[in-house]
Amino acid sequence: MPDQLLYAAEVMINGLMAGVLYALVALGFVLIFKASGIFNYAQGVLALFAALTLVGLQEGQVPFAHLINAAFGTEVHHFGWQLPSIVAILLTVGVMILLAVAIERFILKHLVNQEPIILFMATIGLAYFLEGFGDVMWGADVKTLDVGLPQGGSFWIEEKTAVLGGDGFYGFFIDKLDIVATVVAAILVISLTLFSQYSKQGRALRAVADDHQAALSVGISLRFIWVLVWSIAGFVALVAGIMWGAKSGVQFSLSLIALKALPVLMLGGFTSIPGAIVGGLIIGVGEKLFEFTIGPMIGGATENWFAYVLALLFLVFRPQGLFGEKIIERV
Amino acid sequence: MFYREAGDFKTSYSEDSQTFPIRFDRYRYYAVLVVAFAVIPFVVDDYWANAILVPFLIYSIAAIGLNILTGYCGQVSLGTGGFMAVGAYACYKLMTAFPDVSIVLHVIAAGFITAGVGVLFGLPSLRIKGFYLAVATLAAQFFLVWLFNKVPWFYNYSASGQISAPERTVLGIAVTGPETTAWAKYLICLLFVVVLAWAARNLTRGTIGRSWMAIRDMDIAAEIIGVNPLKAKLTAFAVSSFYIGIAGALFFAVYLGAVEVGEAFGIQKSFLILFMVIIGGLGSIFGSFAGAAFLVLLPVLLKNVLVGGMGWPTDLAAHIELMIVGALIIVFLIAEPHGLAQLWRIGKEKLRLWPFPH
């Protein structure tokens, strides 16, 4: 095979891996949108918050240390213990569930029956709040997240694929972390699909998504379902936060991946879990290939906007996305 | 006691449909104009102009622009920052290409250029709606910022990639460049604000404004009763972008003087202006002012209290500010989804009856 083609193939594989990570964030969006019709802008910040909490718990940071120091002139920063990863992850899941309860209690409960756009704005407000809250609680410095996931390029794949090309070709460079992320994403999607198809709560969840009032009238607790959905979304955010955090450190830019997840959603359709995955893969591969082929001609850094423009052009032809339900409007 | 309709008789239709039908309101409006034009320019100093008044005026223009699109026509846009960048760069290119033409004309021309770009990015709104459109406008935001970063022609091949405003004068008084006095900055912005707000107010209560509102309330129904959605949506995008472009041009030329596009016109700016519109009140010109004032004053106030008053570090204050802004947005949406403008309306109703509410 000619080297150029092999490079393109490598770019494509890496794009697929990046796409999986986008899809992980998009998954959280879809879950909440399906169950409550809320377009949850805060999903990215949830991921950031989850990752911050995980690192903070793991390293035994004192929450609000900065604030306490400023207010009382003390010098606290760490408790001085190191929690094992699994304990820290479980604790973080607990925190995310608490957060879901708080969100339902203080925000959603009061906004029942409001227009979708108002709810969307509320989640933007929530995103701001959580971003500030996370920083105040755990500090705004860039943190490294290490929960024992394998990292670095896989030499095995490099060696095995090096034979494909000529002398100048050293094999595909694929990050082990990306492979882990792909596996985790696959497990998540399968288990979420099984959960929503076969469990009692899953059925209730789909009922609420179909029709709030009808669900209420057969005795499904709307509030419980919302807490449940936001907890699951919090859990998905935690997984996404771990993957992204391990890849590029836990920092503010983590919350910006939420913006990247939006075109993924538009491509796949807001209401479809497989759509989120396929959309993520298309965007991931598309932007990497575009950057690889056209990028150098027009100055590079096209990854910033390619996904949006692709989604925009796509929507003009199919407004509900690839797998979305057909939008029917009545007067 | 003083906010009375009694004795305020209308004898013609034009009197009946004026913007401020109550006499007291009208006088208050004139009084505000007199103070703004004849008092503040003489007392304003650099700190007040740069920290509060000039940003307030410029953000007001941008908020009015976004309010026309989102509040009146119902098309949510997250591309405000990108459109402001178009205004700024158009103004810069015009200023450097035609140094002899008045800066006022440049700013207005920048508005028209932005309107053209806005219509272009508004075209998808004919097919896609709601959130899909909001996300589609993000394409404008990221693409435009990238474009101004990557194409050297836009920043005249300057080494830093920044654009900086050369000195320009109006009637012999410098309004851009480093020599500008505080009152000149303030007055030029004020002039634009007054003219544009007046135009917006009258546009929104005329035919075109009504067709926007019909589209906002239900586009299919509006189409059936004979509102042309193509025309209504695209004019909304054009007028809105015109305002936002002028705000961007003033933001760059008068307020900042030198601009790096990613920093000044990033996605954060889009959200800031969206918040102004929401907190102020969707579909209200007064609300745009109130929202802009609120979000310009809040950080200054918080900074003074937390950093100045309590001696906390600035980064902590910035995070707490984020929390407060976020919480306030949620509180506003829960307590009063129609924003400060609605509070103002309720207050006025109370005042009309006060002190005998029954």
What is the arithmetic mean of pLDDT over B71-100? 87
pLDDT tens readout for residues B147-204: 888 877 878 777 777 887 777 777 877 777 777 777 888 888 888 999 999 999 888 8
Contact A309 B218 (CB under 8 A): no
A45 touches chain B (CB under 8 A): no
Q: Tell me which residue in B218, B224, B320 faces A136 most closely, judged by beta carbons.
A: B320
Asked if the Cβ–Cβ distance from A129 to B316 is below 8 Å, we say no
Reported as a single tens digit per residue, the pLDDT across A276-301 is: 788 888 888 888 888 777 767 776 67
Bridge partners, A78 (sequence order)? A61
Residue A314 to residue B127: CA distance in whole angstroms: 11
Inside any domain, residue B163:
yes
The percent helix, strand, coil of chain A (3-state, each to 5) is: 70, 0, 25
The larger pLDDT score, comparing residue A176 to residue B343, is at B343
* pLDDT score, position A163: 61
Could you tell me the domains of chain A? 3-317 (1.10.3470)
Smallest Cβ distance to A315: which of B127, B325, B327?
B127
Separation CA A32–CA A270 (nearest Å): 10
A109: number of Cβ within 10 Å:
13
Asked whether the beta carbons of residue B320 and residue A39 sit closer than 8 angstroms, the reply is no
Percent of chain A with pLDDT over 70: 81
Helix residue ranges per DSSP H, chain B: 13-16, 23-34, 40-43, 46-48, 54-66, 80-97, 103-122, 130-150, 182-204, 207-217, 219-224, 229-250, 261-264, 267-280, 285-303, 314-335, 339-353
- Which residue range is the domain that position B140 belongs to? 25-265
Is a pLDDT exceeding 70 seen at residue A178?
yes
Which residues from chain B sit within 8 angstroms of residue A316, using beta carbons?
124, 127-128
* Candidate from A80-94, A314-328, B73-87 with smallest mean pLDDT: A314-328
Is B281 within a domain?
no
Residue B9 in any domain: the answer is: no
Which of B130, B224, B330 lies nearest to residue A126, judging by beta carbons? B330
Q: Would you state the pLDDT for residue A170? A: 61
Alpha helices in B100-218 (DSSP H): 103-122, 130-150, 182-204, 207-217
Flag whether pLDDT at B112 surpasses 90.
yes
Nearest residue in chain B measured CA to CA from A42: B326
pLDDT at A302 over 80: no
Q: Is A252's Cβ below 8 Å from some Cβ in B?
A: no
Q: What is the pLDDT of residue B116?
A: 92
What chain B residue is nearest to A67 in terms of C-alpha separation? B316
Tell me, yes or no, if A77 comes closer than 8 A to chain B by beta carbon.
no
**Number of domains comprising chain B:** 1
Statement: residue A1 has pLDDT above 60: no
Q: Mean pLDDT check: name the lowest of A263-272, B71-80, B203-212, B217-226.
A: A263-272
In a domain, B155, yes or no: yes
Residue B319's closest chain A neighbor by CA?
A132
Greater pLDDT, A164 or B317: B317
Confidence of residue A148 (pLDDT cuts 50, 70, 90): low
Report the pLDDT averaged over residues B119-127.
83
Indicate the pLDDT class of residue B83, thresholds 50, 70 and 90: very high
Q: How many other C-beta atoms lie within 10 A of the C-beta of residue B74?
A: 24
Residues whose CB is less than 8 angstroms from the CB of residue A221 and which lie 6 or more positions away in sequence, other chains included: none
- The mean pLDDT value of chain B amounts to 84
DSSP one-letter code for B154: G
The answer to whether the Cβ–Cβ distance between B316 and A66 falls below 8 Å is yes
Alpha carbon of B358: minimum distance to chain A alpha carbons (Å)? 31
Flag whether B61 is in a domain: yes
- Give the per-residue pLDDT at B36: 81
pLDDT tens by residue, B23-57: 777 888 888 888 888 787 777 787 887 888 889 99
Chain B CB contacts of A117 under 8 Å are 76, 130
